[in-house]
């Protein structure tokens, strides 16, 4: 999806898109959903990669970094309305620190995919793949962080049972949102 052109000025467009992305991430990021085994799943990892994929690497990465700074400064935008710099060194710190990595992966892969006709024709599949890969990177880095803090590793079977359902559901939600918004913008333009 190409970022929508709101004005004739690229910097103004990007600033508006950053504000929109930041507003949505800060609003929906704190929400928790229980998918499996009583483990809360948040939309944070989906949102930080979704905006990088939909609006481009610069917009996505800037909005994610602003989100992390706002949360660190005390705005209750992290999971469950949490905030503060201490969350960056706690058990969930690896997930927070991996958000810019996930946004970078999503934005970069989307940029690369837009240059190949095969990926632009198979937009649904390539979008799903990009969302899945970038969220998986966040999950892997977050779990590595947790295992280093706790001193125990989590088995692949437990990861598949506990985290995969939420990851797949978030990927499906993100893909559907991209398709719906892309089609809506296409109809508005025509």
The tens digit of pLDDT for each residue in 40-90 reads: 688 899 999 999 999 999 999 999 999 999 999 999 999 889 999 999 999
Name the stretches of the chain with pLDDT < 70: 1-2, 35-40, 120, 190
Burial pattern 40-77, b for ≥16 Cβ within 10 A else e, equals ebbbbbbbbbbbbbbbbbebbbbbbbbbbebbbeeeeb
pLDDT at 58: 95
pLDDT at 62: 97
User: In whole angstroms, what is the distance from residue 48 CA to residue 63 CA?
Assistant: 8
User: In whole angstroms, what is the distance from residue 103 CA to residue 91 CA?
Assistant: 21
pLDDT at 38: 56
pLDDT at 50: 95
- pTM for the model: 0.89
Which of 63, 41, 73 lies closest to 138 in space, CA to CA?
41
């Amino acid at each position: 999806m190409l970022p929508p052109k709101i004005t004739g000025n690229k910097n103004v467009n990007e600033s508006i898109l950053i504000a929109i992305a930041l507003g949505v991430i800060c609003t929906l990021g704190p929400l928790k959903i229980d998918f499996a085994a009583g483990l809360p799943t948040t939309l944070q990892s989906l949102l930080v990669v979704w905006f990088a994929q939909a609006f481009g690497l610069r917009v996505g990465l800037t909005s994610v970094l602003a989100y992390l700074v706002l949360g660190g400064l005390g705005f209750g935008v992290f999971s469950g309305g949490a905030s503060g710099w201490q969350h960056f060194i706690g058990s969930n710190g690896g997930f927070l620190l991996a958000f810019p990595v996930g946004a970078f992966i999503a934005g970069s892969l989307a940029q690369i995919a837009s240059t190949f006709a095969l990926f632009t024709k198979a937009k649904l599949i390539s979008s799903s793949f990009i969302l899945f890969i970038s969220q998986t990177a966040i999950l892997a880095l977050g779990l590595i962080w947790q295992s280093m803090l706790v001193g125990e590793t989590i088995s692949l079977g437990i990861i598949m049972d506990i985290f995969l359902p939420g990851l797949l559901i978030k990927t499906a939600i993100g893909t559907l949102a991209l398709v719906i918004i892309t089609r809506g913008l296409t109809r508005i333009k025509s």
